Structure 1
């Protein structure tokens, strides 16, 4: 299944030496390079799955946000490896699946995931701020955790509106809130300091895997991590962007409070430990802890904790028919 290339590659060629300082000055180039390099191991790193666990996760959110159960032509913007789109396809929300991303490497991974699932996925490389599709093409436009990578996310809303059919809709999810992100990073910092103090008491100064022992691609990704995440959002600011683009009946929800804080603590602990120090039992524990706290978040804390303290924003809007 070929990948349609509608924009020139920005990643370096063998004839063009890589200048990291130059890459860092261009957020789109940094994101393309980072995600191309990350693509082969991305699903494994972030525990992305296309099984009952992954599909159940996405189905639960779809039931919360979407008024319909079945959509015709569905486009995922900033699709990455296809996490949102392919799991919605497995849940029978999607009849015809389309994906676009600035990273050819990510789309190649999405194509392979779709092949394994038996999904006829149609993909095009392209910029979310300038989509390579005709006006009024799609019944539903979706996206997961991609707006915060864009220099001008408001342009992505405008493009989503342009390519949405009359009566179509947009659903974006997984975007970090300002308040939730601050709290999560504070937890991550304290976790790192606690692990470092504990290791020092054991006479072990080294944290994580030594830099020189990291593979070249991991070194490159870590060198660009601070250049690819550009925004956090106030939920109502995202709603305002959607309305400014023309969407109506816009609503925003948030999710993951304690589950997000636990997730950041777990990820930080994992990063602080040497490679291979934690096994499969740790992974099962971490996922079970997340699921338990997520249920607590949604069933109890959602009515008690300010909405903007939750980590992730979900947004839905409609284009007038």
Structure 2
């Protein structure tokens, strides 16, 4: 398959990829809507919003909601009062509705891209998203829409966006894990992925997911460039911060190793080690590295700003 060459092609590939991925997305990325998941979301937001997060928000709009990770966790935590969730993928929106129903939450949903939002001017107090900006073909237009639908004094915040240099650094542990994978599988007594005719290698949906995945991430950001996009849209008090350095290296090493094995062969003790280790490195990054080292070297960027006028 050739790489998409136009903005419309990029949107179509993103829609198709996320439709295919929707049913297994939460399991693939370990998304948790319980207390641990809520604490993760609040921790990320507090890094760029500070005490503003404690005040809460009334009407929130999530861009690229996926299965609802940010919105549903924030609703349960009481940080937002009402949520409108959007995504370009009908499959993701359907999965999100199921998650909301299971959790007993009421949300409004819309299948739409970020560059042409179907909402009136000044409709929301918060526009937010997680790991979505790097999918958008036209960032300038999208940020213009975020500004338009926000009320004066409203806040925009996005987390989980890849940094250009941090992404390059992350290739080192990824490549190392790839070389070490055969020895790791031997130690774990795990079969290679696809050996059982199911799991990672046994469904048409997975193969299509894998084939499209290389085309859906179209941006990696320098912190200053991302801040400039927000400022050109009219936002003020733009704050860009990096997060996760050692936690990212540790997490990607384990994820690459696990992806080479049949999922059911990966021992429960290994998964506990990987999860607890990630949390430990995340704390190390938060306490010792973030805010002290340049944002550009971290794997993820967070951005927050507000719309003047209130």
The normalised TM-score by structure 1 is: 0.88
- Which is further off, 55-64 or 87-96? 55-64
Structure 1 residues 152 and 207, CA gap change in structure 2 (3 angstroms): farther
Q: Structure 1: which 5+ runs fail to align? A: 1-19
Aligned residues: 299
CA contact (8 A) 1:211 1:219 kept: no
Alignment of 1:8-27 (within 5 A): 26-27=9-10
Q: Does 1:315 align with 2:303?
A: yes
Q: Does 1:114 align with 2:100?
A: yes
CA distance in 1, matches of 2:307, 2:120: 16
Q: Does 1:101 align with 2:87?
A: yes
- The root-mean-square deviation of aligned C-alpha atoms, in Å, is 2.2
CA distance in 2, matches of 1:105, 1:201: 37
**Selected match of 1:33 from 6, 13, 16:** 16
C-alpha displacement of 1:149 = 0.9
CA distance in 2, matches of 1:252, 1:36: 31
Query: How big is each residue's C-alpha offset from its partner over 1:231-272, in whole Å with a ceiling of 9 and x where there is no partner?
Result: 100111111000001100111111000000111101100112
Alignment of 1:31-180 (within 5 A): 31-66=14-49, 67-68=52-53, 69-180=55-166
C-alpha displacement of 1:131 = 1.2
Query: How big is each residue's C-alpha offset from its partner over 1:62-87, in whole Å with a ceiling of 9 and x where there is no partner?
Result: 33322143111100001101111111
C-alpha displacement of 1:134 = 1.3
C-alpha displacement of 1:199 = 7.1
CA distance in 2, matches of 1:23, 1:119: 37
The normalised TM-score by structure 2 is: 0.90
Q: Which residue of 2 is the match for residue 229 of structure 1?
A: 217
Q: Which residue of 2 is the match for residue 241 of structure 1?
A: 229
Q: Which consecutive segments of 4 or more residues in structure 1 shift more than 6 A?
A: 22-25, 199-202
